[in-house]
């Protein structure tokens, strides 16, 4: 598949020289700027900072030594949503939460979670369907009209203002300049979502879970994967990496610490810009 012309990655590593970098370097963040708290600080404030309004940065104006990372979290609100928000606010980075409509009303805890997500200026809300396909993905995608209807119900029930979406159980992309379907039997449903005006976003890198539904591996492994993707120019759009994991993997202390360290180490390189998914290149173009 041809890359999009956001500028090719320069073949150089980004993460391998942590020891040579200053721990006091300031991170350039398109959502906000903030000095890192010391690593030993384990207390995460519940206060939500006020996000600054920052002009959109055109791809051509992202300097050649910067790369853009889009942190995205699926299936919320769910167990781990509050822990996710604490990490984002501790590090003062923005992210996109792809929500499941039924989860917003599934329990008292989930109702509280959706309210926290709505109030947090660092978080952008997007559509991850209403039913999550009832976790029966093959059957779900056999009926394109039902798929569109499911996303429409989620959009209305969650009061989402945009039609940015991610398909449950599938890594599918449908933008004007990107078309990708991981499992071809889902193609008609994906095309129907695009025809209905949905801008479908997949991912470039996923932090997967263990059998215990905790984050698998550690932050060093994930940092190497980020480095490899940029080095080999494997992103759907060059210099732009969409990262995925799930709220419910953030319920144990080790997983929470590993995600926190992953974000902290990315910040300290001073080589990355964090953005919400609505800033992804060309996502706001009217779909053909």
> Quick check: is 31 in a domain?
no
Residue partners of 129: CB distance under 8 A and separation at least 6: 100, 101, 147, 150, 151, 154, 165, 167, 168
pTM of this structure:
0.84
pLDDT in tens, 181-225: 999 999 999 999 999 999 999 999 999 999 999 999 999 999 999
pLDDT in tens, 127-159: 999 999 999 999 999 999 999 999 999 999 999
Please give the pLDDT value at position 285: 92
Please give the pLDDT value at position 14: 53
Q: Is the pLDDT of residue 36 over 80?
A: no
Q: Is the pLDDT of residue 284 over 70?
A: yes
> Quick check: is 5 in a domain?
no
> Quick check: is 212 in a domain?
yes
Q: How many residues does the chain have?
A: 288
Within its chain, how far is the Cα of 66 from the centroid? 18
Please give the pLDDT value at position 142: 98
> Quick check: is 79 in a domain?
yes
The CATH number of residue 143's host domain is: 3.20.20.370
Cα–Cα distance measured from residue 107 to residue 130, given in angstroms and rounded to the nearest whole number: 15
Domain that holds residue 100: 74-279
Instruction: Count the domains in the chain.
Output: 1
> Quick check: is 214 in a domain?
yes
Residue partners of 131: CB distance under 8 A and separation at least 6: 100, 101, 102, 140, 150
> Quick check: is 34 in a domain?
no
> Quick check: is 55 in a domain?
no
- Going through 152-220 in order, the beta strands assigned E by DSSP cover 164-165, 172-174, 179-181, 199-200, 205-206
Please give the pLDDT value at position 175: 98
> Quick check: is 130 in a domain?
yes
Q: Calculate mean pLDDT across residues 246-271.
A: 97
């Amino acid at each position: 598949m041809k890359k999009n012309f956001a500028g090719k990655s320069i073949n150089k590593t980004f993460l391998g020289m942590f020891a040579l970098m200053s721990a006091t370097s300031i991170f350039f963040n398109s959502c906000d700027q903030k000095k890192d708290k010391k690593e030993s600080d384990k207390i995460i404030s519940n206060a939500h900072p006020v996000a600054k309004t920052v002009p959109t940065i055109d791809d051509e104006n992202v300097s050649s030594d910067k790369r853009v990372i889009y942190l995205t979290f699926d299936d919320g609100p769910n167990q781990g949503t509050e822990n996710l928000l604490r990490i984002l606010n501790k590090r003062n980075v923005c992210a996109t939460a792809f929500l499941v409509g039924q989860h917003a009303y599934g329990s008292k805890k989930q109702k509280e979670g959706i309210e926290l997500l709505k109030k947090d200026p660092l978080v952008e809300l997007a559509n991850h369907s209403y039913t999550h396909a009832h976790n029966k993905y093959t059957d779900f995608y056999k009926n394109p009209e039902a798929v569109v209807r499911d996303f429409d119900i989620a959009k209305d029930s969650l009061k989402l203002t945009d039609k940015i979406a991610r398909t449950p159980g599938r890594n599918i992309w449908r933008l004007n300049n990107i078309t990708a379907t991981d499992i071809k039997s889902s193609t008609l449903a994906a095309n129907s979502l695009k025809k209905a005006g949905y801008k479908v976003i997949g991912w470039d890198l996923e932090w997967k879970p263990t059998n215990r539904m905790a984050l698998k591996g550690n932050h060093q492994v994930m940092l190497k994967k980020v480095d490899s993707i940029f080095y080999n120019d494997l992103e759907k759009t060059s210099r732009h990496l969409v990262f995925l994991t799930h709220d419910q993997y953030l319920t144990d202390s080790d997983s929470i610490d590993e995600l926190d360290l992953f974000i902290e180490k990315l910040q300290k390189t001073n080589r990355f810009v964090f953005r919400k998914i609505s800033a992804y290149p060309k996502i706001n173009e009217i779909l053909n």
